[in-house]
Structure 1
């Protein structure tokens, strides 16, 4: 007997026997759905969740869009005749095809229309809703979809599973219920309700052609506007969107050169304002209701309020330590209360709570109450105000920078290069400190003589050591001058401050007042601690009194702040080096202070206005240290990013033919791990200062090639949508990630030596949960393994890295993974070993990933099968016009022309993509750079910038498609491909058995896929 589609809902005993599992409201004779098909359509294309620069989430975005002008002809004649359950987007109202959102009670269909997601899924994602019900007249009745065990109604985590002893299917949430050990069903057969961005057909049908005849065609932009209208007026309709003529504000792109600083300010000012508005809207939308609070007292006697949020709530929050928050209570049994404070702790693998340190007020917090609190984040425009101030200062204050830097930063031609008349030390390495290699020593010598220098530091090449050495010599060469050392992030600044302190320099670490109570490695160098340590007389007495009483009288408070600020100024005046973030350089405490030399580390992660904040303190010498082949600035506003705000100052200066000095020796990775990055991103110039023996750990981990600690483990699970609806996860990869980590534990590797990188927040959260629930070793071991995004690992390293790609779909859409800079960072974090978990079928259609797969295959490290019995994978890869080969020796690079002088001042930065820029080596001819044309993906080809011989977007792409369609050898390989060998777990084996069409459609997928990647 074939199983009926049955699911549990609102039963009194969710944990009862299997016999308590109930069917849908309708009987079989009344049309209950039978014989569900488990096959997936390989003709549907998965949507892209494009990365807009955010470190830990995916932006919901559809693919192709019908233009609004093309849509205008498609309107339903009689809107008022539509039934109440008609799709709020398109008007389709077939009962079996529509689903009701339980949050807003609007109906939506399961049709994708012009989008790559069905209308109901699009609405749920854009509105951040997640609970639905079916139509009363549908085949399954008017059920609200929920988990049989726990009642979870979030459809993004729900799925169906067959009961063993009954001909029924049970609805369970992905975690924890589907993973709970239960003899009544096989947890490995759990199948998500949502596939390919639409509900599976036995929940909601796809509308038929007849159902769609009179439907309204709606564009993605119209949907976005309608959703925005609903936030203000829940009764708004598509007609309200059509009747509003919205004039989009014109956003001027950033130029390559500027005639004067006024033009520079007029270009960047509006973009900074757009970014501020976007950040403000995002922050203010993060209100939290009905939260439970746990109260405690901090060591400084301040009240702490800790609260945990659900995964659905917390994953969409953008919260950082130091953010200000308002906590309110307006419940029953207590007078209304409101308090302000700063976030001092965010969730980690060991704890799930946000912790708020409250500012002392006359009204104490209601610590006897723990529920029904509300919270909202306070937006602070300080960073944007400081950027705008820096832009204005650069434009109007002639003392903000030297005349040379003024011209250089604007892109003016300099007739004669300027060098400082300084006496360089014979030996630049600092005694008792790290010995510099040749490229580092040359970089230090070159920088000390020039007013403007760019240093490119590929992964593991010692940027921080080089920067610290430069700062040391600057303090010795200019004893009377102060040095300002900055970076975009507090972590990077703290790391630099540590290095500088070890050189014996007088360092002051300036932090925002909201972060003064945050623990850090250089807390003893912070300005407030230095004031307390060096306080004497009345200030010392007031500090002691304030600590004992918690507050001072009004008169004492005035005296205290006057003396405290005076002491701050004295300490800053006597410092050799002040360390702060780029935005921190705009602090009022540095007002009127001049810094002749400014060094900015990780400069490619900062926008240009952010970099200007430290520079306009009277800089005569600027050193920018970064790597444009790694991650760039995080820009929230898409139009500001497209206009050029996402381009760093470092990159614009490269466009202006300012040649960066590259550090060429890496000391982090086993040479085999550095080889691909060197050839793909650094023209083969990244050499290893460590040997294989230096980076070898004695263990029995099953590396495919024993002396080559890397592998690409082919995983053939399916991607699923995460709990938020805006990210992805892959259960097979998470399962195998746990197996890899458990095996490393058994080989004696400690948790802190392991890092797990994934671009998707959904996968990150699932891996953490899965390991703690299913890992065979001590739970605390798995909690100590850091699982984070690519962005979180920038500038860091671990002994072993597991990289989970997560993406696996028939449309070969890979979203975040398309970014070459993101891939470069992920591949270059490991010192001793790298394991990549991914689906070659999906990844191979991207040229960059295909080259990586070829690299692993050529080294015998592309494998599949069980971890203890890995076999070489025979998965067919793409045969592009030219294939990259990772040589073990220096390649003979082709030359290509670059006439920098032909770039006119009117050109916009939007015309160029410096993520693709080759890096230059000192002494090379400006008009030529060494590079292998086959090394770079198609998006590296930008007009008027170094041209790449092969284009994969146009004619050549079509040729490749044709070749692929007619390549008998590839077809035969696909036919002969043993699917059983592809499976590396019993779970994915069962998935493929359920999908009878898989084997037949694999070939069609390859033949019709072509080069389906869009770079942009």
Structure 2
């Protein structure tokens, strides 16, 4: 029989290594184990046949993020304890007894029953299966909060010092692991949900893959893995409120030896930052409130990304068209951590093998995983001798993120500029941004006879009203519910602003995708449009690549000297120091000329802080998807001299993504658009939607938009006559389908999944 444990009756029986080799079954079990086993049965807890998960070599696994909400329990005063389990205090009725806790005691509560604890292999701390005052067991609570995933059981537990891992591929991500009973034996094996339990080859093995069940159920390990402590143990345990647990986890990020005494003293735990306000006395108060929040978010982002190092990578080498080295590899953690890799991000690749001297190189991400490939590709910077790149090696590489403070520095600089530079914004915009009630000076604008513009669809009445209103106001908010034509309306507004005002228009959005979409629409109108991208994204394919600044410089045939140097650089790969200096100066001059002649300049909000735009002044600024930008991010384009601002978005949809909970709680997750709405700046709402079947638009219209949404498409235009599907109501392609599948925590720990629902949808 394979497996380290046998199933006799209703008990889990532990085999020694020698017994396994001899094929013998040990049939001894103590009274405590039997009592626990009966308790499991009484609670109807799942108890499979016994098995020791097969062990394989260690592999990297992925970080987790917190999906469990923090309860708002009051933080009780706590007696000092050594958090790593060395010593502590237990409370029994009215007496306190100082005892020496074993090293495997739960770092939260001190419970040390060997059958009820497990060790986190990432930090070597022990945690138990008790819940205390939290909604999850202590071990799961820690794994999610700390973004750890590897677990080992106690040597004295029924399963021994087992490291939980997939028998087939060796992954140790416990959020991916489940068990499958063998078809012919009374043993179980541990397999990961994806890909091992789902791959077709598994169906031919001696495992019943249809019976795969996760090891974590109801935010706790199954009791045959980590058993629940007794009621007496829980009564004697230390009780940490959820707030204290959250602060303790934050302390451990900087000091693994932190104690509850440190927590009570406030050591390493920052005071709550000042919350954002609706109104500010002056720009200095504004900066003093938002500055610390941006710093908190920056520090959190840096720690998060710097912890994402991954080892044991296999690299595939290639050359780009510009003769730079391309390194492609699979990042197992990419889809499972909080950090999302984006094109243009900077990564450091290291060779740590023995075949040649250690090497490291830095490059920019030019490709991320898609439906065709799971690989990440980075383009290495040109640096020194190309022969130094270890292209002959494919194994033993590691990669980590190179954190850049650029976006946060630009936010801080924008707020400082707002405070000290009187010319950064007009007086009216200055006071409105601070929340002051000031009367707007009427704008003398000659409205066009026709509002629809060449190259774009005709406008409906609500879109025309929005355009007309924006052209006459120094500050406008446009609310665009789903499918109401925000992009077309924005492009039309930009066209008229450029034609009527005669100055350049700066167009921004928080994401490159949103900027590209709007840039393409603006180009259709015939305006001279320039797309400014970060230098790290210049080699990234884009639907509007021909409009990018660097591409327009390259395609400029009038500068003969620059073209010669470009050709020489392409042939040789690099220039002499003298030629390189001359080349850079010629590029700067060409960029300056193209930017000064543009009607519209498009970039991300952070990109508006690019030094190439520093000397330009933009009278008019439009920010698309502004409700997805943190307020300091919106300030970057605004402080370039704007006198007329247009914010486009929808505060009923997704807001800014703030990673740090403390900063989000203080209000950094509230957009400038939303704050202005609260202050009474009424948005102009686009009211005709062209996306959904009328039966689908009815709910969001009534729920979020006071029933104001109108349908620009008929039900017949949104029915697929070629698809024969038995809708409950024939003319309404909509239904609620109840699925009874169990929810499971996803591999990332950030959400839930339901495999039954997924199979039904497929």
* Fold in common (TM above 0.5): yes
The counterpart of 1:552, out of the listed 575, 586, 597, is 575
Q: Which residue of 1 aligns with 2:419?
A: 395
1:224-249 Cα distance to aligned partner (Å, 9 max, x none): 45445555555555455456645633
Shift of 1:329: 2.2
Q: Quickly say closer, same or farther: Cα 1:515–1:192, change in 2 above 3 A.
A: same
Tell me, in whole angstroms, the C-alpha distance in 1 between the residues paired with 2:330 and 2:606: 30
Q: Quickly say closer, same or farther: Cα 1:423–1:65, change in 2 above 3 A.
A: closer
Does structure 1 residue 382 correspond to structure 2 residue 406? yes
Does structure 1 residue 82 correspond to structure 2 residue 95? no
Q: How does 1:514-553 map to 2 (within 5 A)?
A: 514-535=536-557, 536-553=559-576
1:539-567 Cα distance to aligned partner (Å, 9 max, x none): 11111111111111111111111111011
Contact 2:180–2:188 under 8 Å retained in 1? yes
Contact 1:7–1:168 under 8 Å retained in 2? no
The counterpart of 2:274, out of the listed 238, 242, 252, is 252
Contact 1:102–1:131 under 8 Å retained in 2? yes
Q: How does 1:1-20 map to 2 (within 5 A)?
A: none
1:555-605 Cα distance to aligned partner (Å, 9 max, x none): 111111111101111111111111111111111111121111111111111
Q: Quickly say closer, same or farther: Cα 1:129–1:587, change in 2 above 3 A.
A: closer
Shift of 1:216: 1.9
- Give the SS at the match of 2:546: helix
Tell me, in whole angstroms, the C-alpha distance in 2 between the residues paired with 1:142 and 1:293: 34
Q: Which residue of 2 aligns with 1:588?
A: 611
Tell me, in whole angstroms, the C-alpha distance in 1 between the residues paired with 2:277 and 2:500: 36
Tell me, in whole angstroms, the C-alpha distance in 2 between the residues paired with 1:607 and 1:254: 12
Q: Quickly say closer, same or farther: Cα 1:406–1:232, change in 2 above 3 A.
A: closer
Q: Which residue of 1 aligns with 2:27?
A: 27
Tell me, in whole angstroms, the C-alpha distance in 1 between the residues paired with 2:185 and 2:551: 68
Q: Quickly say closer, same or farther: Cα 1:549–1:612, change in 2 above 3 A.
A: same
Tell me, in whole angstroms, the C-alpha distance in 2 between the residues paired with 1:614 and 1:428: 26
Q: Which residue of 1 aligns with 2:51?
A: none
Q: Which residue of 1 aligns with 2:242?
A: 220
Q: Quickly say closer, same or farther: Cα 1:730–1:10, change in 2 above 3 A.
A: farther
Shift of 1:700: 0.8
Tell me, in whole angstroms, the C-alpha distance in 1 between the residues paired with 2:406 and 2:29: 67
The counterpart of 1:120, out of the listed 139, 164, 169, is 139
- Give the SS at the match of 1:657: coil
Tell me, in whole angstroms, the C-alpha distance in 2 between the residues paired with 1:703 and 1:300: 54
Q: Quickly say closer, same or farther: Cα 1:449–1:335, change in 2 above 3 A.
A: same
Does structure 1 residue 276 correspond to structure 2 residue 267? no
Shift of 1:221: 4.1
Shift of 1:9: 11
Q: Which residue of 1 aligns with 2:725?
A: 701
Shift of 1:106: 3.5
1:849-873 Cα distance to aligned partner (Å, 9 max, x none): xxxxxxxxxxxxxxxxxxxxxxxxx
Q: Quickly say closer, same or farther: Cα 1:27–1:85, change in 2 above 3 A.
A: farther
Does structure 1 residue 315 correspond to structure 2 residue 337? yes
Tell me, in whole angstroms, the C-alpha distance in 1 between the residues paired with 2:125 and 2:25: 22
Q: Which residue of 2 aligns with 1:574?
A: 597
Does structure 1 residue 440 correspond to structure 2 residue 466? no
The counterpart of 1:129, out of the listed 127, 130, 148, is 148
Shift of 1:427: 1.6
Does structure 1 residue 352 correspond to structure 2 residue 401? no
Does structure 1 residue 733 correspond to structure 2 residue 757? yes
Tell me, in whole angstroms, the C-alpha distance in 2 between the residues paired with 1:224 and 1:267: 24
Tell me, in whole angstroms, the C-alpha distance in 2 between the residues paired with 1:195 and 1:465: 48
Instruction: Pick which of 723-732 and 239-248 moved more.
Output: 239-248
Shift of 1:81: 2.7
Q: Which residue of 1 aligns with 2:182?
A: 163
Contact 2:336–2:747 under 8 Å retained in 1? no
Q: Which residue of 2 aligns with 1:207?
A: 229
Contact 1:88–1:108 under 8 Å retained in 2? yes
Q: Quickly say closer, same or farther: Cα 1:348–1:26, change in 2 above 3 A.
A: farther
Shift of 1:103: 4.4
- Give the SS at the match of 1:251: coil
Q: Quickly say closer, same or farther: Cα 1:211–1:414, change in 2 above 3 A.
A: closer
Q: How does 1:331-342 map to 2 (within 5 A)?
A: 331-342=353-364
Q: Quickly say closer, same or farther: Cα 1:115–1:621, change in 2 above 3 A.
A: same
Tell me, in whole angstroms, the C-alpha distance in 2 between the residues paired with 1:513 and 1:401: 28
Q: Which residue of 1 aligns with 2:85?
A: none
Contact 2:79–2:260 under 8 Å retained in 1? no
Q: Quickly say closer, same or farther: Cα 1:651–1:187, change in 2 above 3 A.
A: same
Q: Which residue of 1 aligns with 2:648?
A: 625
Shift of 1:6: 6.8
Tell me, in whole angstroms, the C-alpha distance in 2 between the residues paired with 1:432 and 1:116: 56
Q: Quickly say closer, same or farther: Cα 1:565–1:213, change in 2 above 3 A.
A: same
Q: Quickly say closer, same or farther: Cα 1:233–1:483, change in 2 above 3 A.
A: closer
Tell me, in whole angstroms, the C-alpha distance in 1 between the residues paired with 2:190 and 2:23: 11
Q: How does 1:492-503 map to 2 (within 5 A)?
A: 492-503=514-525
Contact 1:6–1:169 under 8 Å retained in 2? no
Contact 2:65–2:749 under 8 Å retained in 1? no
1:37-81 Cα distance to aligned partner (Å, 9 max, x none): 496689xxxxxxxxxxxxx98534344365332444993256653
- Give the SS at the match of 2:409: helix
Contact 1:65–1:115 under 8 Å retained in 2? no
Shift of 1:263: 2.3
Q: Which residue of 1 aligns with 2:513?
A: 491
Contact 2:64–2:149 under 8 Å retained in 1? no
Contact 1:598–1:614 under 8 Å retained in 2? yes
Tell me, in whole angstroms, the C-alpha distance in 2 between the residues paired with 1:176 and 1:5: 31
Shift of 1:723: 2.7
Q: How does 1:420-459 map to 2 (within 5 A)?
A: 420-459=443-482
Tell me, in whole angstroms, the C-alpha distance in 1 between the residues paired with 2:407 and 2:720: 45
Shift of 1:315: 3.3
Shift of 1:84: 3.4
Does structure 1 residue 138 correspond to structure 2 residue 157? yes
Shift of 1:679: 0.6
Q: Quickly say closer, same or farther: Cα 1:109–1:534, change in 2 above 3 A.
A: same
Q: How many residue pairs get matched?
A: 716
Shift of 1:446: 1.2
Q: Quickly say closer, same or farther: Cα 1:138–1:81, change in 2 above 3 A.
A: same
Q: CA RMSD in A?
A: 3.0
Q: Which residue of 1 aligns with 2:310?
A: 288
Shift of 1:213: 3.7
1:664-699 Cα distance to aligned partner (Å, 9 max, x none): 101111111111011111111000000011111121
Q: Quickly say closer, same or farther: Cα 1:330–1:178, change in 2 above 3 A.
A: closer
Instruction: Pick which of 215-224 and 362-371 moved more.
Output: 215-224
Q: Which residue of 2 aligns with 1:691?
A: 714
Tell me, in whole angstroms, the C-alpha distance in 2 between the residues paired with 1:635 and 1:507: 32
Q: Which residue of 2 aligns with 1:951?
A: none
Contact 2:658–2:668 under 8 Å retained in 1? yes
- When the two structures are superposed, what TM-score results if normalisation uses the length of structure 2? 0.87
Contact 1:603–1:648 under 8 Å retained in 2? yes
The counterpart of 2:129, out of the listed 95, 110, 132, is 110
Tell me, in whole angstroms, the C-alpha distance in 1 between the residues paired with 2:400 and 2:24: 41
Tell me, in whole angstroms, the C-alpha distance in 2 between the residues paired with 1:37 and 1:444: 68
Tell me, in whole angstroms, the C-alpha distance in 1 between the residues paired with 2:264 and 2:272: 21
Shift of 1:436: 0.5
Contact 2:15–2:25 under 8 Å retained in 1? no
Tell me, in whole angstroms, the C-alpha distance in 2 between the residues paired with 1:251 and 1:616: 25
Contact 1:21–1:170 under 8 Å retained in 2? no
1:614-640 Cα distance to aligned partner (Å, 9 max, x none): 112211211111111111111122222
Q: How does 1:897-908 map to 2 (within 5 A)?
A: none
1:706-750 Cα distance to aligned partner (Å, 9 max, x none): 211112211111111223444322121121122xxxxxxxxxxxx
Does structure 1 residue 188 correspond to structure 2 residue 193? no
- Give the SS at the match of 2:311: strand
1:901-930 Cα distance to aligned partner (Å, 9 max, x none): xxxxxxxxxxxxxxxxxxxxxxxxxxxxxx
Q: Quickly say closer, same or farther: Cα 1:150–1:637, change in 2 above 3 A.
A: closer
Does structure 1 residue 94 correspond to structure 2 residue 89? no
1:348-370 Cα distance to aligned partner (Å, 9 max, x none): 22211111111011143111112
Tell me, in whole angstroms, the C-alpha distance in 1 between the residues paired with 2:15 and 2:271: 49
Q: Which residue of 1 aligns with 2:657?
A: 634
